[in-house]
């Protein structure tokens, strides 16, 4: 790790007092490695072929564990198939929060600052299938990895958007839960990200704080009355944390919400309202801060009615494709140029409303590309939890073949009479191959392929 900036050290000494030496010592150790299982693909952590030796569970998140050391995740097909997500443990506290906040009825949730998708995939696993998650990332280059991770997680009740927070303004009082995992100075990631050490400065910290308030003020009207806003950062300083929440509570009609827990390792924030801080010398994880507020009354400002649009009746999915869906009756189809996809029928109207204001980059599940009656099955269908596996001819690959497939190279043909083969490794679907009899066409997406040379021992992670 780069040498810590002197003003940061001074701040932390003041903030932590006698605990400061333990904090600085923890920063010199390796960051723990933790993963969170995809319960839609594996029911429990014991059933998954883990990419490394599990040491202990993450206390505040079901089906999440620490690994004894960092494996080369790129070499594990399960990583590419969305069997689990590599996520630092402190931020998995969102699981504990959502367990307390989520009502029994379906909700609409917005994850405003979502890339690369750690918290969106966590939320997706907890939301009911009738709920809808809008997962947004403003930075276009980061929006691509968000979309990839969402597709691999395999839910069809997610819409991925790439918008500035201000673009959400027309969606007044729309969301039951908004998560603002705000862009921040990244102090909590110093162990993992040397660049954040280099870029740290007092002035950047002030800029971050102002931007955080601006983001919150732009999105506040989109929260329903009684709805919850979860604010989080990966920093320690009060300017980006307690001060921002305090400003929010002073500016809008909101009350702070405590989260019940019995984890001694979590430090209460320095405020007269409940908030929670995670330090690496106390928790097995990185720096993290969170606090929750609930909207008290309707927001101010004029309600902007969304224009009602007439949409053509959705075309039915061709019968051949319907077989691939476990519950075809629940969905309606959409066409986007040559791409045919599905969304849950009870989300369709809301998604149409979103389309009037937002740049949607992905919705539901893309099923097939249809060109002059020629059908090409698409990767999201293979990775989707709603795929009817019984309709598929499955190519169960060994490790070498699975990695060759993920590199988008040729894999050996097998004697089977089917046009399309679902390539799978230890029951985790990876993608499609077109069967040409004597050979197979590899349809793994080029932009997702493993770029690493599998024959060398230099193993950079993807
Ligand atoms: N929630 C993500 C996860 O768990 O994987 C991490 C989010 S990261 C802390 C903050 C995100 O906010 C980044 O992806 C960043 O690109 C995005 N961001 C940057 N500037 C923003 C802005 N002005 N408004 C909204 N989001 C912004």
Label the pairing between strands 64-67 and 33-37: antiparallel
Contact 272, 263 (CB under 8 A): no
Ligand 1, atom 20: closest residue by C-alpha: 183
Q: How far apart are CA 205 and CA 364, in angstroms?
A: 38
Q: Cβ atoms within 10 A of the Cβ of 447, count?
A: 9
Burial string for 124-135 (b: 16+ CB within 10 Å, else e) reads bbbbeeebbbbb
Separation of alpha carbons 36 and 21, rounded Å: 31
Q: Is the CB of 287 under 6 A from ligand 1?
A: no
Beta strands across the sheet bearing 64-67: 54-57, 64-67, 33-37, 84-86
Q: Does the Cβ of 139 fall within 6 Å of ligand 1? A: yes
Exposure string of 170-204, with b = 16+ CB inside 10 Å and e = fewer, is bbbebbbbbbbbbbbbbbbbbbebeebbeebeeee
Catalytic residue positions, numbered: 234
CB 223 within 8 A of CB 320: no
Task: Determine the distance separating the centroid of ligand 1 and the alpha carbon of 180, expressed in angstroms.
Answer: 8
8 Å CB contact between 139 and 336: no
Q: Determine which residue's CA is closest to atom 14 belonging to ligand 1.
A: 115
| 8 Å CB contact between 125 and 192 | no
CA dist 400 and 236 (Å) reads 44
Please tell me the distance from the alpha carbon of residue 174 to that of residue 111, in angstroms, as a whole number: 13
Q: Is 181 in the pocket of ligand 1 (CB under 6 A)?
A: yes
Give me 359's structure tokens: 């740049």
Q: What's the sign of the alpha-carbon dihedral 366, 413, 452, 91? A: positive
Give pLDDT tens digits along the chain (462 positions). 668 999 999 999 999 999 999 999 999 999 999 999 999 998 677 777 888 899 999 999 999 999 999 999 999 999 999 999 999 999 999 999 999 999 999 999 999 999 999 999 999 999 999 999 999 999 999 999 999 999 999 999 999 999 999 999 999 999 999 999 999 999 999 998 989 999 999 999 999 999 999 999 999 999 999 999 999 999 999 999 999 999 999 999 999 999 999 999 999 999 999 999 999 999 999 999 999 999 997 655 444 444 444 445 566 788 889 999 999 999 999 999 999 999 999 999 999 999 999 999 999 999 999 998 899 999 999 999 999 999 999 999 999 999 999 999 999 999 999 999 999 999 999 999 999 999 999 999 999 999 998 876 544 443
């Amino acid at each position: 790790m780069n040498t810590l900036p002197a003003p940061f050290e001074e701040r932390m000494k003041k903030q932590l007092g006698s605990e400061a030496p333990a904090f600085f010592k923890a920063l010199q150790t390796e960051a723990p490695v933790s993963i969170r299982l995809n319960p839609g693909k594996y029911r429990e952590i014991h059933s998954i072929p883990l990419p490394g030796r599990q040491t202990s569970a993450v206390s505040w998140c079901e089906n999440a564990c620490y690994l004894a050391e960092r494996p080369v995740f790129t070499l594990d097909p399960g990583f590419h198939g969305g069997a689990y997500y590599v996520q630092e443990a402190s931020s998995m506290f969102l699981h504990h929060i959502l367990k307390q906040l989520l009502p029994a009825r379906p909700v609409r949730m917005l994850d405003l600052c979502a890339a690369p998708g750690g918290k969106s995939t966590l939320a997706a696993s907890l939301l009911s299938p009738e709920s809808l998650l809008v997962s947004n990332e403003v930075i276009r280059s980061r929006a691509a990895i968000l979309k990839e991770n969402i597709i691999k997680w395999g839910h069809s009740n997610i819409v991925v958007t790439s918008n500035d927070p201000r673009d959400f303004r027309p969606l007044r009082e729309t969301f039951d839960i908004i998560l603002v995992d705000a862009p921040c100075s990244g102090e909590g990631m110093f162990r993992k990200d040397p660049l954040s050490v280099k870029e740290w400065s007092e002035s950047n910290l002030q800029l971050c704080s102002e931007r955080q308030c601006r983001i919150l003020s732009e999105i506040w009207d989109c929260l329903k009355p009684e709805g919850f806003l979860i604010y989080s950062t990966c920093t320690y300083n009060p300017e980006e944390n307690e001060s921002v929440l305090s400003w929010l509570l002073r500016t809008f009609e909101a009350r702070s919400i405590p989260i019940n827990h019995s984890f001694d390792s979590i430090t209460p924030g320095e405020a007269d309202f409940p908030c929670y801080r995670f330090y690496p010398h106390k928790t097995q994880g990185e720096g993290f801060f969170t606090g929750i507020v609930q909207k008290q009354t309707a927001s101010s400002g004029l309600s902007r009615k969304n224009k009602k649009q007439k949409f053509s009746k959705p075309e039915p999915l061709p019968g051949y494709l319907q077989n691939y869906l476990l519950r075809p009756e629940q969905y309606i189809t959409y066409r986007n140029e040559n791409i045919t996809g599905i969304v849950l029928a009870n989300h369709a109207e809301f998604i149409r409303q979103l389309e009037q204001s937002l740049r949607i980059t992905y919705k539901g599940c893309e099923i097939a590309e249809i060109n002059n009656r020629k059908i090409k099955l698409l990767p999201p269908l293979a990775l989707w939890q709603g795929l009817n596996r019984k309709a598929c001819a499955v190519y169960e690959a060994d490790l070498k073949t699975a990695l060759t497939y993920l590199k988008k190279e040729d894999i050996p043909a097998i004697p089977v009479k089917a046009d399309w083969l679902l390539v799978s490794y230890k029951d985790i679907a990876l993608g499609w191959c077109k069967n040409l009899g004597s050979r197979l066409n590899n349809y793994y997406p080029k932009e997702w392929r493993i770029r690493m040379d599998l024959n060398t021992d230099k193993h950079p992670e993807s």
